[in-house]
Chain A
Amino acid sequence: MQPIEDAKANFFGAHGNVVSGAIAPAADHGPQTLLELPGGRIVVTATVDRDNATEVTVHNGTGIALQAARDLDGTASSISLPASDDTTIPLPGTGSSVHRLHLQILPSGREFPDVVSILVTSEDGAIAGQAFVSET
């Protein structure tokens, strides 16, 4: 067996958490937590209104704005998550009954050293999510 090279073994990504969540919020009953990253720096909640329209809210609990790449039902863009604030992303109310949101949040200095990818799938008010958190 080859000896382990420390520099290779310890490069970032060696420690990572996977957070999974699923909710079925009652219509018009306010936000429900779908995912909360360790330390509470990123919290994802969702609401469903009486027309089954779903909104996903990403709370950036850090003191700095975070840059993220976003893909919503196949349309990619870049967004900024303002410091200590919420970013609300309405899922489309038309087309397929299944909607998919993908966010890739990039690290920013010591305050947010993690690489985070968030996957949210919504269908008829049932919402499932998974987040990958790689420590850098």
Chain B
Amino acid sequence: MHGQLNSGLDVPDGRLALVLSAAKEIEPGSRAMLLLAEGLFRLDVVVAEDTLRTVLRNLSGGVIETETTLGTITGESILFGDAATYEPGRAGLGFTITTGGDAVWVRAMIATMRFAARGTVQVGAQAILLQAPPSP
């Protein structure tokens, strides 16, 4: 397991911004907590054959709205050396958490590597959380 790391990000207008990253190496079919944002959400993953399923648990007491637009993270997948033998994959996930008049936007990149010799799959993620600007 790669432990979760959390760091604050400087945003010019002073809004709250965080980066969370972690990874878990799991056996196919088992479920694992990948990311935890205390008081906001918990992201679990399940790997089954060639499918990655995410389970988003709302810890905020508010509303979580998943959004195709936020989950669309453009970019490349770049391989070095023998990376292809680990069958790397990637996915994106985006959602908004709204509690009262406050909202937080979350955008996560998720990536996988298969460790065939150990019969496991490593699922890693980096999520950026940004406080939404106040409603006009």
Contact = CB atoms under 8 A, between A and B. Distances in A.
A117 B126 contact: yes
Q: Is the interface of A mostly helix, strand, loop or mixed?
A: strand
Given A100-B2, A117-B21, A119-B122, A8 B109 contact: no
Interface in B11-62: 19, 21-23, 25
A89 interface: no
A53 interface: no
A23 interface: yes
Q: Is the interface of B mostly helix, strand, loop or mixed?
A: strand
Contacts of B1: 74, 100
Interface in A34-91: 34-36, 38, 69-71, 74, 76
A87 B122 CA distance: 25
Contacts of A19: 77-80
Interface residues of B, number: 49
Interface of B: 1-3, 5-7, 9-10, 19, 21-23, 25, 67, 69-70, 72-83, 85-86, 88, 90, 92, 96, 105, 107, 109, 111, 113, 115, 118, 122, 124-126, 128, 130, 132-133
